[in-house]
Structure 1
């Protein structure tokens, strides 16, 4: 899954979970926020360190993880 430029996996950050750009923002947390009903705009407003592309890539990464493909 190395085709995702905004997703990093580092054993020293968040126990090796996929995160956004090496920050302590696990992909799963972004998915939880979206699943709770928050819009992308609301997430970005509450967390200005994130970018729209981060959230979109997190969704693509989750989709690729489930389907077993390297990139979408």
Structure 2
């Protein structure tokens, strides 16, 4: 999955946070919903501009960030 097809960061949208292209829905928001126990089905029903592919792109983006060490804590 090439996440760059679905995820972008634009300084004019949510202060540059990574979002699903064409929306103001941030990667952070989607991960937060999942952390709260939302299912993929619930997310797609409540955010009709998202697709299964865009959700998969969010996971690919997070996986790449982890692989590159961008999310490691110094603690």
Task: Please provide the CA RMSD for this pair.
Answer: 1.8
Matched, 1:35 2:45: no
Runs of 4+ in 1 over 4 A off after TM superposition: none
Which one has a bigger Cα radius of gyration? 2
- 2-side partners of 1:58 and 1:15: how far apart? 18
Query: How far is the alpha carbon of 1:22 from its aligned partner?
Result: 3.6
Query: How far is the alpha carbon of 1:65 from its aligned partner?
Result: 0.8
Matched, 1:67 2:55: no
Normalising by the residue count of structure 1, what TM-score does the alignment of the two structures yield?
A: 0.84
Rate the CA distance shift 1:52–1:64 in 2: closer, same or farther, 3 A: same
Kindly tell me the number of residue pairs found equivalent between the two proteins. 68
Gaps of 5+ in 1: none
Normalising by the residue count of structure 2, what TM-score does the alignment of the two structures yield?
A: 0.81
